[in-house]
Structure formats: structure tokens, C-alpha cells
Amino acid sequence: MTATIIDGKALAQTIKEELHERIAHLNSKGITPALTVILVGDDPASAVYVRNKHNTFTQLGLKSDVLHLPADITQEALLNKIKELNQDPLLHGILVQLPLPSHIDSHTVIDTIAPEKDVDGFHISNAGALMIGHPRFIPCTPYGVMKMLATQQVPLRGAEAVVVGASNIVGKPMALLLQKEGATVTICNSKTKDLAAHTKRADILVVATGRPEMVTGDMIKPGAVVIDVGINRGEDGKLKGDVEFSSAVKVAGAITPVPGGVGPMTITMLLVNTIEAAERQL
């Protein structure tokens, strides 16, 4: 038996087509959804992500600006720039690409973004809203994963879900969303003893560690749904997930590939959040 491959690229395309109508409605009211991405410094991976976001937005007729700031910018200057953007009535979304240089405190920066423009859903008040079960903006990657699970009609109520990785960007919000839908959720981290004992129990396994191919087929329950959030560049230049695809595909019931799985969904959900932010102005 080999697993069903969950095609994130195709699902992202379908969702984008469904957004046309909402964009046209906003346009008819004189509104063009607009995002500004702030990129600090010259991290090559961040530059690629930012370029992909920009291209996706402009292809759909949304407004997208990239504000590229030098790596040695002071925290105060960055905060002032964000405060200025907060005041712009024609701007609906502000995203600060992470990671930031080490002299800047990312929590302070994120919490300076107006919560109603925080399309990443990282602001402390948006994180809190999600925690109490009333999300305002759902972080894009876990939001995309939930869409994939819904499209695959994966039963969540009563399911055993294991999330490997406890970041604020993916692991923690992912766990909250799965729990909200009635899954029994375990969050594993780098200190978890006997990781395989946990992952082998999972009906739904989400891996977001940034450690290439750390989950192998022998750690997966036969028939499980495996969601690989990792994007790692191997020494051979090829992209690799956090799951070893070749062994996992033989055991899982369904699995996301890398590339073409979670990645395209993340950008698509950023579109959804930005359109949502603009619609709230109607």
C-alpha cells in the first residue's frame, strides 16, 4: 500500500480561484486588499519567501509592497516604521518576515503591529484569541493544514493528533486548532523522550521541527495522515521535508509532499487573511 499524496499546490489553486469573487466585491466598493511585507536584512531564504508572497499577491490583483530595511536598522526605527504603516487607511495587512536580526526583539516588533492588520496572526492578542477558541487571524501555516485536513475529510473528533515542534508560528497554533475540532493532541518538542512512542500513536501527525527527514516510516502508524511542514535545502540542493518521504509514503494513509504540500497553502492562507482584513472595513 502507498499513501494518497495530498496535493497542496492544486488545493491552493482551487482556493485562489474561489477568492476572485471576494476580491471583485471589494474592488466594486473601491477597495484593493493591500499587504506590506517588511524584510530586515539579507537572509536568502527569507528573500525567497518574500518574493513568492509578493508574486502571489500581484498575480491576483492585490496590492503588495515589500519594505526592505537594512540588517543594522535600530529597533526603534523599525517600530516607528510599523507605527506609520498602522496609520495608513489603505493598508490592510502588515507582515514582518521572521527571523529578525538578533539585536531586535521580535515579540516587541510583532506586538507593535495593529492587531487588525496582523495577517500572520502572531500578535499577542491574536494568539490569545486563538487560545480561547475565538480566532481573529489564524496563523497561515496551521490554517493551511486545517484546510488540507478538511478537504481530505480527515475525521478530527476523537482522533489522536501528534504535533512535533512547539513553535509559536506553527506547532502551538496547530495544536490549538486540532484541539478545537475535538482531537486529542500531544505536542512533542526537542526534549521529548522516546519520540517514536508518541508519533506511532498518531492518527494525524504534523511535523514542524526544521530538522530534515527526522521522522521516518517506522515512526508512523499504518494509515496515518502525515503533514510535513518542513522545508529544508539538502546538500544536493534539493528540498527536503522534516519527514523521510520515501519510507513514510509506504506506511501512511495520506501524506503531504515537499515541495508542493504545505508551502503553497501557507501563502494562500495569507491571501485569505488579507482579504478578510479588507472585508472587515466594509
Catalytic site residues? 53, 97, 120
In the list 36, 97, 199, 274, the residue contacting ligand GUN (rule: CB under 6 A) is: 97
Helix (H) or strand (E) holding 51: helix 44-59
Q: To the nearest whole angstrom, how small is the minimum distance from the Cβ of residue 276 to ligand GUN?
A: 16
Burial class (CB in 10 A: 0-12, 13-18, 19+), 48: exposed
User: What is the grid cell recorded at 47?
Assistant: 528573500
Work out whether 120 is an interface residue with ligand GUN (CB under 6 A): yes
166 assigned ligand-binding residue:
yes
Spell out the alpha helix ranges (H) of 111-204: 124-131, 140-151, 171-180, 195-199
d(CA 51, CA 31): 23
Beta carbon nearer to ligand GUN, 187 or 229: 229
* Nearest CA among 148, 169, 158 for reference residue 99: 169
Size of the site for ligand GUN (CB under 6 A): 8
C-alpha dihedral over 124, 22, 140, 240, to 10 degrees? Answer: -160
165 assigned ligand-binding residue:
yes
Q: To the nearest whole angstrom, how small is the minimum distance from the Cβ of residue 2 to ligand GUN?
A: 30
Three-state SS at 259: coil
Q: To the nearest whole angstrom, how small is the minimum distance from the Cβ of residue 263 to ligand GUN?
A: 10
Q: Which stretch binds ligand GUN (CB under 6 A): 28-36, 57-65, 95-103, 147-155?
A: 95-103
Beta carbon nearer to ligand GUN, 96 or 204: 96
Beta carbon nearer to ligand GUN, 57 or 219: 57
Burial class (CB in 10 A: 0-12, 13-18, 19+), 17: exposed
Buried b (16+ CB within 10 A) or exposed e, 136-160: bbbbbbbbbbbbbbeeeebebeebb
231 assigned ligand-binding residue:
yes
Three-state SS at 130: helix
Work out whether 130 is an interface residue with ligand GUN (CB under 6 A): no
Q: Which stretch binds ligand GUN (CB under 6 A): 3-11, 93-101, 221-229, 235-243?
A: 93-101
In the list 100, 104, 127, 140, the residue contacting ligand GUN (rule: CB under 6 A) is: 140
The footprint of ligand GUN (CB under 6 A) covers 95-98, 120, 140-141, 169
User: Known binding site for NADP(+): residues?
Assistant: 165-167, 231
User: Known binding site: residues?
Assistant: 165-167, 231
